[in-house]
Amino acid sequence: MPESTIKNYLSLIKFTHTVFALPFAVIGFLLAVVLTEATLSWKLFGLVFLCMVFARSAAMAFNRYLDRNIDASNPRTAIREIPKGIIKPKSALLFVIVNCLLFVTTTYFINKICFLLSPIALLVVLGYSYTKRITFLCHLVLGLGLSLAPIGAWLAVTGKFDWLPLFFSFAVLFWVSGFDIIYALQDVDFDQSKNLKSIPVKIGKKNALLLSSVFHFLTSFFILFAGYYAEFGQWYWIGAAIFIALLIYQHLLVKPHDLSKINLAFFTTNGIASIVFAVFVSLDLLL
């Protein structure tokens, strides 16, 4: 495959945005290894990583495929690969199917429960793309999709559910939902014109930012509660403090009347927050 084609597909799926959920998958994986005294398997870690890549690639490509006509009519998104004709719709759909098959196949080599749950995971992450046409709660569905990362990684190691990874999943649920609300602020007028649903469309920019703050308060609560529940050490609490500080910072960046710093709040701040937090949690677990 030509290098330019690879770059086009990486751009299609916004591969760099993997930084949001992947660090929490690492946290879930290390939690399971350390707290259950399981054997650290780099092969298993590689399979978990591949699952993350395949599931997210399928979800993003499907979103771009399904929204291709909407994207073409939105000046902000008209430059995306499918509206511009860089990638054909049929090629994007084939990419989705291949990644779904690779995801399910990879779970087969992990364990039985991951394999059996793989269709449900795909239903969630692919189904998100339809929700903006149906409900203003679409942000929570996106959050639910990414929240599967820590519990999925835990299941890959242990093969059973537990409360601790679920606390991190709840944190991811409200974290992603909160910053997706912020991201949706820039398309309020367009979404209204196309009868698309979102929380900013439903309750207005000011109230949407307030609700985003509430969601990020809940994120902070679950991060702190998980630390208390598992009796983490100082490295965890340093990471938690930085993570929460960056949540607060992104809310200082975006105002209802000034959306110029949305990209800084959405990608840079949240990307740094997830990586830094994962690094400090890993230090706490491994040292």
Residues of the chain with pLDDT > 90, as a percent, come to: 85
Has residue 246 got a pLDDT over 60? yes
**282 dihedral zone (left: phi>0; alpha: psi -120 to 50; beta):** alpha
Mean pLDDT (whole number) for 168-173 = 98
Q: In one letter, which amino acid is 99? A: N
pLDDT reported for residue 160? 94
pLDDT reported for residue 20? 85
Structural tokens at position 91: 């090629």
Place of tokens 């598992």: 230
- C-alpha dist (Å) from residue 129 to 45, 58, 195, 220, 285: 28, 11, 15, 27, 36
258 backbone dihedrals φ, ψ, rounded to 5°: -140, 100
Mean pLDDT (whole number) for 17-42 = 91
pLDDT reported for residue 267? 81
Has residue 260 got a pLDDT over 90? no
pLDDT reported for residue 190? 95
Q: Which domains does the chain have, with CATH numbers?
A: 3-286 (1.10.357.140)
Has residue 3 got a pLDDT over 70? no
Buried b (16+ CB within 10 A) or exposed e, 1-23: eeeeeeeebeebbbeebbbbbbb
Mean pLDDT (whole number) for 30-59 = 95
263: confidence class by pLDDT, cuts 50, 70, 90: confident
Has residue 52 got a pLDDT over 60? yes
Q: What is the pLDDT of residues 85-137, one digit of tens each?
A: 999 999 999 999 999 999 999 999 999 999 999 999 999 999 999 999 999 99
Q: What is the pTM of this model?
A: 0.95
Q: In one letter, which amino acid is 257? A: H
